[in-house]
Amino acid sequence: MGWEGEGKTLIHAKKDWVFVSDAHLTGQEREGMESFLRFLDSQKGGMGHLVILGDLFEFLFGFRDSSRQNDFPLHLKSFPFPEYLPVFEGLQRLSQQGIRIKYFEGNHDFFLHSFFQDWFKMEVEVYPNGWEERLGGRRSFIAHGDLANPRQWKYRFFRKIVKNPGMFRLIQFVGPRWSRRVALEMSSRSHDLYHANSKRDRATAFQSFAQQKFLEGFEIVILGHSHFPEKIEEWIKERKCLYLNVGDWMTHRSYLRFTPPDQFELSQFLER
């Protein structure tokens, strides 16, 4: 999605990028959502980009509702996730203030390509898989990270089943109420497939994935999904490379800030 005017481009180039991942909000933890909104509010002054590396919610599906009129208050009737509305409205305010939002689908996110535009008239760049960016002039790879471990063939097979057009049509047909029940089972199965090994083993798999990307020519790799914040620098073929894992908002309240041209800082949101 393009932005008109060189002035806006220059302004955004000077502002920070903020990365968050894995909040797994259910809509039932009011304080957790309010804390996340306070975090967004605390960052908006110096932030040009907000990058959500997936799994902001425990389940998010890009339901469509052709019966809803554009001028009808969505919170009164047909929006499939009314308990998430405070967070979506917070993101909408950021977008209206000119902050660019990028959403990388995680393993709890499904078919969001037009979701934000359809329901909120909000410009959000949605990426179903990893994507290349230029951060500080350096070639960077960004993704949720659920495909980082090639040995997790069961999960990869499971992912292909649930993220295909046929599944989209099925979930759209059965609707939000039934699909949420199935999503809880899917979430539990995904958790079992992924978290069967130790945190240290998972971290090693992510580091190996980053190293492979470095060999492909990337200088920076930014992931989520592991729930384990990491920052590792190493030299690959005489290039200084940087692997960062944002960790998770759910337990660590961790986030990553990139301040142009070259400062990356992992931080934790602490409220007094």
Domain boundaries, the chain: 7-268
Answer yes or no: pTM beyond 0.85.
Answer: yes
The span from the CA of 79 to the CA of 58, in Å, is 17
Which of helix, strand or coil describes residue 111? coil
Q: Say if CB 20 and CB 266 are below 8 A apart.
A: no
pLDDT at 269: 96
pLDDT at 102: 98
Q: How many CA atoms lie within 13 A of 218 on its CB side?
A: 23
Strand (E) or helix (H) holding 41? helix 30-43
Q: How many CA atoms lie within 13 A of 264 on its CB side?
A: 20
Q: At 12, give phi and psi (nearest 5°).
A: -65, -30
Residue-level pLDDT, tens digit, the chain, 272 residues: 333 344 444 446 689 999 999 999 988 888 889 999 999 999 999 999 999 999 999 889 988 865 555 554 554 467 888 889 999 999 999 999 999 999 999 989 999 999 999 899 999 999 999 999 999 999 999 999 999 988 888 888 878 887 888 877 887 787 776 666 666 666 655 555 555 555 555 678 999 999 999 999 999 999 999 999 999 999 998 899 999 999 999 999 999 999 999 999 999 998 87
Q: Say if CB 86 and CB 53 are below 8 A apart.
A: no
CB contact set of 254 (below 8 Å; sequence gap of 6+): 229, 246, 247, 248, 266, 267, 268, 269
Q: Say if CB 244 and CB 264 are below 8 A apart.
A: yes
Nearest-10 Cα torsion for 223, 227, 233, 237:
-50
Nearest to 123 by CA among 100, 140, 97, 145: 100
pLDDT at 186: 61
- Bridge partners (DSSP) listed for residue 223: 245
In the structure, how many helices (H) and strands (E) does the chain have?
8, 13
Instruction: Return the structure tokens found at 182.
Output: 């199935």
Give the position of tokens 């999904």.
225
Instruction: Return the structure tokens found at 85.
Output: 């509305």
The span from the CA of 84 to the CA of 91, in Å, is 11
The span from the CA of 197 to the CA of 154, in Å, is 14
To the question of domain 7-268 being in CATH 3.60.21.10, the answer is yes
Q: How many CA atoms lie within 13 A of 186 on its CB side?
A: 21
75 CA to centre of own chain: 24
Give the position of tokens 């070259």.
262
